[in-house]
Amino acid sequence: MAFTYCWEDFTPGWTYESPARTLSAAEIVAFAREHDPQRYHTDEAAAKASPFGGLIASGWQTATVAMRLMCDGYLNASSCIGSPGIDEIRFPRPVRPGDALRFRATVLEAKPSASKTDRGLIRWRWEVLNQANEVALSMTGVQFFLRRAPAASPPGA
């Protein structure tokens, strides 16, 4: 399979920013009823009485929006072979109905694998920003990508 993006393409500082995706109140409530049924995600009246003063999306929904925008933007066109996990995830600002969310990915570090010459790892900062450029979600994590051509094995290996 030919990939648009391989490990070599993701150099430190490489950035991707997606088009906006707006969340509706109905989408927020439907997601929350299924996955995170807290009152400020599912009930507009109860949400108004909460410290948030209105309906907000689950942070997990914001993370799934980030994943979808990542896949649509570059991940599905890449040689990604998985991730060992997220190092940090934060939800500094609530997402409200009507917010237009953009996903931004920035490469922090690119390292070839020490044990497998056909791949390397990328350390990322991923963010979801609203229409006011405020960060609603921030994550750092690692993904593994295949290389275009495996590196030569070191002598004696």
pLDDT tens string 97-140:
999 999 999 999 999 999 999 999 999 999 999 999 999 999 99
Rounded Cα–Cα distance for residues 156 and 135 (Å): 48
Q: What is the pLDDT of residue 152?
A: 62
Confidence band, pLDDT 50/70/90 cuts, at residue 1: confident
Q: Is residue 70 part of a domain?
A: yes
Q: Is residue 155 part of a domain?
A: no
Q: Is residue 116 part of a domain?
A: yes
Rounded Cα–Cα distance for residues 8 and 78 (Å): 11
Q: Is residue 152 part of a domain?
A: no
Residue 14 pLDDT > 80: yes
- Structural Rg of the chain based on CA atoms: 19
- Report yes or no: 26 and 35 within 8 Å, Cβ to Cβ: no
Per the structure, how many domains does the chain have?
1
Q: Is residue 2 part of a domain?
A: no
Q: Is residue 154 part of a domain?
A: no
CATH, residue 82: 3.10.129.10
Give the CA diameter of the chain: 69
Q: Is residue 156 part of a domain?
A: no
Q: What is the pLDDT of residue 130?
A: 98
Q: What is the pLDDT of residue 149?
A: 82
Residue 153 pLDDT > 70: no
Rounded Cα–Cα distance for residues 7 and 143 (Å): 10
Rounded Cα–Cα distance for residues 144 and 129 (Å): 25
Q: With 0-12 CB in 10 A as exposed, 13-18 as middle and 19+ as buried, what is 2?
A: exposed
Residue given tokens 């490990």 in the structure block: 7
Say what percent of the chain tops pLDDT 90: 93
Q: Is residue 1 part of a domain?
A: no
Domain limits at 126? Answer: 7-146
